[in-house]
Amino acid sequence: MRCEVIAVGTELLLGQIVDTNSSWIGEQLALAGVDSHFQTKVGDNVERIASVLRIALDRSDAVIVCGGLGPTHDDVTREAIAEVMGVGLVRDASVVARIEAMFSARGRRMPDNNLRQADIPEGAAAIDHPQPGTAPGLVCPIAWPGGGEGDEGASGPGGAGERTVDKVVYAVPGVPHEMRAIVEQVIVPDLRRRAGDTSVILSRTLRTWGESESGLAERLAERIRQLDEIGNPTLAFLASGVEGLKVRVTAKGPDEASCKEVLGHEELVLRALLGDLVFGVDDETMEIAVGALLDANRLSLGLAESVTGGLVGARLTAAPGASAWFRGSIVSYASEVKFDLLDVPEGPVVTAEAAEAMAAGARRVLDADVGLSVTGVAGPAAQDGEEPGTVYVGLALGDQVESVRLRLPGDRERVRQFACISALDVLRHRLSGSSRGGHLGERTKA
Amino acid sequence: MRCEVIAVGTELLLGQIVDTNSSWIGEQLALAGVDSHFQTKVGDNVERIASVLRIALDRSDAVIVCGGLGPTHDDVTREAIAEVMGVGLVRDASVVARIEAMFSARGRRMPDNNLRQADIPEGAAAIDHPQPGTAPGLVCPIAWPGGGEGDEGASGPGGAGERTVDKVVYAVPGVPHEMRAIVEQVIVPDLRRRAGDTSVILSRTLRTWGESESGLAERLAERIRQLDEIGNPTLAFLASGVEGLKVRVTAKGPDEASCKEVLGHEELVLRALLGDLVFGVDDETMEIAVGALLDANRLSLGLAESVTGGLVGARLTAAPGASAWFRGSIVSYASEVKFDLLDVPEGPVVTAEAAEAMAAGARRVLDADVGLSVTGVAGPAAQDGEEPGTVYVGLALGDQVESVRLRLPGDRERVRQFACISALDVLRHRLSGSSRGGHLGERTKA
């Protein structure tokens, strides 16, 4: 089964938006065992979209077209697919109903040209996708001349008597979260069914924080050699910036149970090699891991943030259920707020003493069991004689108040993001009873 | 002059690396007035690279192939270009000398397979680029059958007597800084010379908040019709999720000055049609716009956040200089923190009254001129009898304390993000003296 990706949008060609959708779709296809040999970007132009669709159908079994399904005059993917199918557009009542329902749910009037989105190619089916946006996805079956790759000259839907092959064109919105929902939950399963692929592919991702990619590679070198011989499962490193490094394990087997057994065993092997560098599995973010530890220890958390400006609180409250253990955060950006509200001693505020006073103050003011604080310099300018990238994390837990000094890399935003996850990692290690401190810097005990 | 981009690398198709090179090249071509209608990604495979090269040469005047020039066995771009040109590879003595010189300069022995990089298609010329890597760029002139677009079937270099057109294939390394040096300093000037075209293309983007894409399209429908006749400038909508909708104006002219004049005039026309929906231009985010208004009015801001958990503060402090007007934020996630710290009346906290008390409390506790608050339900569960997506924004300014009720779409994270920018938009409208409130819901005056 060969499936291509066509990303539609003049802004992609002009470099105003980087096409990350095709890359993400390519990764999903690879994980599903579907070959993807070509990816094409084309502008908002009916003739050009139709021409690349014909080229793709000549050499592949399926095509995913991403973008150009919106309501505006330059959204012409529907028209291009209809032209290649050799059919017209028909208004789909169920899509009309869904679009109208969504607008009324938002208490908004539906502009008339939104109805363009309900005009779909004759013979196509709208995808009633899980995360409905105004643009529905489309599944467009098409009988295509010839046998695929190598059939130059093939350039239209099958006429009477002509030998044709059943192929399919999918259309998805360019909005990433809508696109992802449709591809994951509808298109990939449909492609595997069409491919008659009964084997199951499952992967599990271990999230790590506190070690470089080469460091991880060294720890896992011997295991990687072993797996190269065994062949199943396979390992891949995914660098994820401020989210740390991920180790993805992919297993192939006759059924889910056997894949899960392989994944479960491999997770144990890897955890033995990586220890507490592993903070989560799959979608378990650092904030979810920290929340689970607080929950398990029946501890409530109060924050005092300065350089992060609220990022730590924002991350902790991203997950449902945070209200069980998160009290709140004092974002003391102005020094006077630190002095007046948190009883930080007047003076420089990028110090171990300030971080510890902030942690203790947050615990007191927010009536929490644990106080966690972040103060530092994101840049571009230095502050209190400290260079950008210098961050202190304070922790008030039990009768201990301590702090960690971190040196963080990158520009202002990266320093803020690193400070955020690093502070949470400090709390994670303390709650999990680990002896390790912040991974990026040396601990300075109060 | 039409020039396509072909990015070579199996890792691009697998989504292990996002292809940012094509986007950057596309931007350079646009700025140089060169049309680029197609961009293709293909794996490290001679036949497939050759096939997409033939397709590109059939419909364009020039092609830039990016990647696959390295020394390893899977770097096969040279072979693919030679096959399409119908020639063999010849070892280029000057390239051999340069590669040997570079290795000796690094005091390293040159591995033999590096000499593969000196084997270039017969008739091609190596680009002696300013930032030498081991992989030189290539300029490959080629006489191609037919007149370009529409010549289906054309699939090889011109034979005797066949009508051919002079086209060109450039090859550049995939390493971004090497690729950029060659494209900027060698390829773009060469393309412009071949095109004999000195026109310039410039863009300006207006950022809007408060209207749907289709709603914007209706407001601008008449102007779009006019511009379709005039032809210059052109308009495009860019949906940017929680950042709102962007209207991009692109002007083509003989020089930068004339383009800027066209852009300046069109911005005035669009602002007249869109009014205060426009909050920023190009890179001016909502937080930058709000910060500028606070700065201009010499007002300091204090926040009280609940459902957003710190997101508003995090956004406002993302920009350097926020310390001039941002005092801080009381993230009162637990209801008791609202009651104890902000003097919110005990009872339900997703109400206009709670939002207004939070705004007044934030202004008082943080000693700020303006108090802004956000309380609501992100979901998944309802709270205080309000459905997920219900958000109240409170504003304490001068002797007024008021609130806006918003109905926001999407899942938990989108509701939080929409609540964040919507709250900032409420403050923006109030500071800019506009009468409009939150864009997604009705105002409820206290």
Give DSSP secondary structure letters for B147-165: SSTT-TT--S---TT--EE
Of A249, A271, A274, A272, nearest to A262 by C-alpha is: A249
Higher pLDDT, A84 or B161: A84
A438 near A374, Cβ under 8 Å?
no
Question: Which residues of A fall within a CB distance of 8 Å from B57?
Answer: none
- The pLDDT value recorded for residue A150 is 46
Cα gap B289→B132, rounded to integer Å:
43
Higher pLDDT, B243 or A208: A208
Cα within 13 Å of Cα(B407), Cβ side: 11
B36 near B195, Cβ under 8 Å?
no
Position B149 confidence tier, pLDDT thresholds 50, 70, 90? very low
A396 near A362, Cβ under 8 Å?
yes
- The pLDDT value recorded for residue A155 is 53
- The pLDDT value recorded for residue A130 is 62
Q: Which of A23, A316, A412 sits opposite B320 (nearest CB)?
A: A412
Position A115 confidence tier, pLDDT thresholds 50, 70, 90? confident
CA distance readout (Å), A262 to A202, A207, A235, A267, A389:
10, 18, 12, 9, 42
Work out the percent of chain B whose per-residue pLDDT is above 70. 92
CB contact under 8 A, A333 and B340: no
| Same domain flag for B148 and B221 | no
Q: Which of B13, B214, B236 sits opposite A26 (nearest CB)?
A: B13
Cα within 13 Å of Cα(B420), Cβ side: 25
Cα gap A111→A387, rounded to integer Å:
53
Cα gap A90→A108, rounded to integer Å:
25
B258 near B392, Cβ under 8 Å?
no
- Share of chain B residues as helix, strand and coil, in percent rounded to the nearest 5: 40, 25, 35
Complete DSSP assignment for B71-88: SSTT--HHHHHHHHHT--
Of A276, A306, A444, nearest to A372 by C-alpha is: A306
A312: contact with B, CB 8 A cutoff: yes
Q: What is the token pair recorded at A428?
A: 């994670």
CB within 8 Å of chain A, chain B residues 13-72: 13-20, 22-28, 30, 36-43, 45, 48, 51-52, 55, 59
3-state SS string over chain A?
CEEEEEEECHHHHCCCCCCCHHHHHHHHHHHCCCECCEEEEECCCHHHHHHHHHHHHHHCCEEEEECCCCCCCCCCHHHHHHHHHCCCEEECHHHHHHHHHHHHHCCCCCCHHHHHHHEEECCCEEECCCCCCCCCEEEEEEEEECCCCCCCCCCCCCCCCCCEEEEEEEEECCCHHHHHHHHHHHHHHHHHHHHCCCCEEEEEEEEECCCCHHHHHHHHHHHHHHHHHHCCCEEEEEECHHHCEEEEEEEEECCHHHHHHHHHHHHHHHHHHHHHHEEEECCCCHHHHHHHHHHHCCCCEEEEECCCCCHHHHHHCCCCCHHHCEEEEEEECCHHHHHHHHCCCCCCCCCHHHHHHHHHHHHHHCCCCEEEEEEECCCCCCECCECCCEEEEEEEECCEEEEEEEECCCCHHHHHHHHHHHHHHHHHHHHCCCCCCCCCCCEECC
| Same domain flag for B425 and B363 | yes
Cα gap B57→B157, rounded to integer Å:
10
Cα gap B435→B431, rounded to integer Å:
10
End-to-end Cα spacing for chain A: 62
Position A177 confidence tier, pLDDT thresholds 50, 70, 90? confident
Q: Which of A249, A281, A313 delimits the end of a domain?
A: A281
CB contact under 8 A, B15 and A26: yes
CB contact under 8 A, A305 and B310: yes
With both helix axes pointing from N to C terminus, report the angle between A46-59 and B46-59 in degrees, rounded to the nearest 10.
Answer: 150
Given a cut of 90, is residue A294 above it in pLDDT? yes
Cα gap A321→A295, rounded to integer Å:
10
CB within 8 Å of chain B, chain A residues 141-160: 152-153, 155
Q: Which of B24, B217, B366 sits opposite A113 (nearest CB)?
A: B217
| Same domain flag for B183 and B204 | no
Of B320, B342, B348, B340, nearest to B329 by C-alpha is: B342
CB atoms within 10 A of CB A40: 25
Of B18, B349, B163, nearest to A25 by C-alpha is: B18
pLDDT tens track for B266-294: 999 999 999 999 999 998 999 999 999 99
SS3 B393: strand
| Same domain flag for A372 and A257 | no
Q: Which of B281, B302, B331 delimits the end of a domain?
A: B281
Question: Which residues of B fall within a CB distance of 8 Å from A74?
Answer: 236-237
| Same domain flag for A314 and A169 | no
CB contact under 8 A, B26 and A15: yes
Total domains in chain A come to 3
Of B40, B39, B50, nearest to B87 by C-alpha is: B50
**ipTM of this complex:** 0.72
Position B445 confidence tier, pLDDT thresholds 50, 70, 90? very low
Q: What is the CATH number of the domain that holds A110?
A: 3.40.980.10
The mean pLDDT of A365-371, rounded to a whole number, is 98
Q: What is the CATH number of the domain that holds A290?
A: 3.90.950.20
B429: contact with A, CB 8 A cutoff: no
| Same domain flag for A160 and A57 | yes
Pairing of strands B326-332, B301-305: parallel
How many pairs of residues across A and B have Cβ atoms under 8 Å apart?
Answer: 264
| Same domain flag for B262 and B304 | no
CB within 8 Å of chain A, chain B residues 211-250: 212-215, 217-218, 224, 236-239, 241, 248, 250
Cα gap B8→B43, rounded to integer Å:
6
Of A260, A272, A295, A309, nearest to A420 by C-alpha is: A309
Q: What is the token pair recorded at B365?
A: 């506790």
SS3 B63: strand
A424 near A411, Cβ under 8 Å?
no
> By residue range, what is the domain housing residue A236?
200-281
| Same domain flag for A175 and A147 | yes
Position B156 confidence tier, pLDDT thresholds 50, 70, 90? low
Pairing of strands B443-444, B400-407: antiparallel
Cα gap A379→A390, rounded to integer Å:
9
User: Nearest residue on chain B to A240, judged by CA atoms?
Assistant: B16
Q: Which of B23, B236, B331 sits opposite A329 (nearest CB)?
A: B331
Q: Supply angle C-alpha A308, A310, A314, rounded to 5.
A: 120
The mean pLDDT of A423-431, rounded to a whole number, is 96
| Same domain flag for B344 and B211 | no
Burial class of residue B272 in the structure, from the number of CB atoms within 10 Å of its CB (0-12 exposed, 13-18 middle, 19+ buried)? exposed
A105 near A126, Cβ under 8 Å?
no
- Phi-psi group of A343: left, alpha or beta (phi > 0 → left; psi -120 to 50 → alpha; rest → beta): left
The mean pLDDT of B196-205, rounded to a whole number, is 80
| Same domain flag for B207 and B62 | no
pLDDT tens track for A312-335: 999 999 988 899 999 999 999 999
CB contact under 8 A, B313 and A303: no
| Same domain flag for A223 and A164 | no
pLDDT tens track for A235-269: 888 777 788 889 989 898 888 899 999 999 999 99
Report if pTM > 0.90. no
Residue B280 has φ and ψ, to the nearest 5°, of -165, 165
Identify the residue whose tokens are 């109400």.
B351
Position A149 confidence tier, pLDDT thresholds 50, 70, 90? very low
Cα gap B81→B67, rounded to integer Å:
12
B256 near B200, Cβ under 8 Å?
yes
Beta-bridged to residue A8, according to DSSP, are A42
CB contact under 8 A, B14 and A26: yes
Cα gap A80→A59, rounded to integer Å:
18
| Same domain flag for B265 and B294 | no
CA dihedral sign, ordered B104, B105, B111, B115: negative
Cα gap A4→A322, rounded to integer Å:
41
The mean pLDDT of B432-440, rounded to a whole number, is 49
Q: What is the token pair recorded at B276?
A: 């205060």
CA distance readout (Å), A229 to A103, A199, A223:
56, 21, 10
CB within 8 Å of chain A, chain B residues 108-147: none
Q: What is the token pair recorded at A53?
A: 């669709």
Question: Which residues of A fall within a CB distance of 8 Å from B362?
Answer: none
CB within 8 Å of chain B, chain A residues 338-377: 340-341, 365-367
Given a cut of 90, is residue B105 above it in pLDDT? no
B412 near B445, Cβ under 8 Å?
no
Q: Which of A150, A165, A195 delimits the end of a domain?
A: A195
Of A293, A285, A289, A317, nearest to A303 by C-alpha is: A317
Least confident of A130-134, A170-174, A425-429, B298-302: A130-134
Identify the residue whose tokens are 């938006």.
A17
Of B318, B338, B319, B322, nearest to B330 by C-alpha is: B338
Q: What is the CATH number of the domain that holds B220?
A: 3.30.70.2860
Complete DSSP assignment for B310-334: THHHHHHTSSTTGGGTEEEEEEE-S
Is the preceding omega at residue A132 within 30 degrees of 0, hence cis?
no
Given a cut of 60, is residue B442 above it in pLDDT? no
